[in-house]
Amino acid sequence: MKLIPKFSVTMKLCDILYLSYLVPASRIRPFVPEILPMAYIDDRVFISIVIFHSSGVRLVNLPFLRFDYNQINLRTYVKDPQTKNHGVYFFRSGITSATIFFLSRFLNLPWENIQFSIKSERDKEDHYARYIASGDWQGKFNIEVKEASSQTMNSAPFSTQEEAVQYLTGPLIGFYGSSQKLQRFEIKHSHIQARFCEVLNISFPLLTTSGLLRKREIHQPINVLLASQGQFHVFFPPRLMKS
């Protein structure tokens, strides 16, 4: 990455879904480079599916060149060896823009060009009556959720809803790549005002064929959050981590 000058990308994320599972750390540890400490909760770790629409994606110095696309990230939560702050490690990402997929190869981003759609419906009170993400990523997938009533909101294993939202949406450091080519980058984003949701339907074969989840777990996420929007600023190029 030494030949690539520093630059940053800004974007607005819309209809951001965080679908999270708490699984045994021993299962996830082989997928994550050893240099990265896992963010343990007892002997378990979170993995999350994060789905969103990126709007107005642009280089800060090129405001007139903009892109829109949908993206899915499969990630887990780790600790940054430098700052000891929480970060996320990306297993894989899928995007719907062929152009962005091509450009991402220069940064060795783990992005794959896939096709999927996001549809959301709001009721008169602006609650999410239904949110649907469906497409194909090494198998057809479909995820449907709706905003939860106050009686069904679940913040476990955190003590408060605010703590759950901050843990799952707040990290500002990202990692990707293998142990020999682990890359680190930084992010700034607005406060994520998330709403708690409940699952109507989940079918996502890639989660089980990849070994991240068991079939019996796929329908039982421990936490489902949905945010209408967030402003994100990503700083590139990533920096190679030394073991």
Q: Which tens digit of pLDDT belongs to each residue from 143-201?
A: 999 998 765 566 779 988 899 999 999 999 999 999 999 999 999 999 999 999 999 99
Peptide bond into 157 cis (omega under 30): yes
Q: Which residues contact 87 (CB under 8 A, 6 or more apart)?
A: 36, 77, 78, 79, 80, 171, 172, 173, 174, 175
Domain ranges within the chain, ordered by starting residue:
9-237
pLDDT digits (tens, 9 = 90+) for 12-31: 999 999 999 999 999 999 99
Q: Which residues does residue 11 pair with via DSSP β-bridges, in sequence order?
A: 232
Looking at the domain 9-237, which fold is it?
Acetoacetate decarboxylase-like (2.40.400)
Nearest-angstrom CA–CA distance, 103 and 33? 25
- The confidence band for 3, taking pLDDT boundaries of 50, 70 and 90, is low
**Cα three-residue angle 43-93-75, rounded to 5 degrees:** 15
- Pick from 114, 7, 116: nearest CA to 58: 7
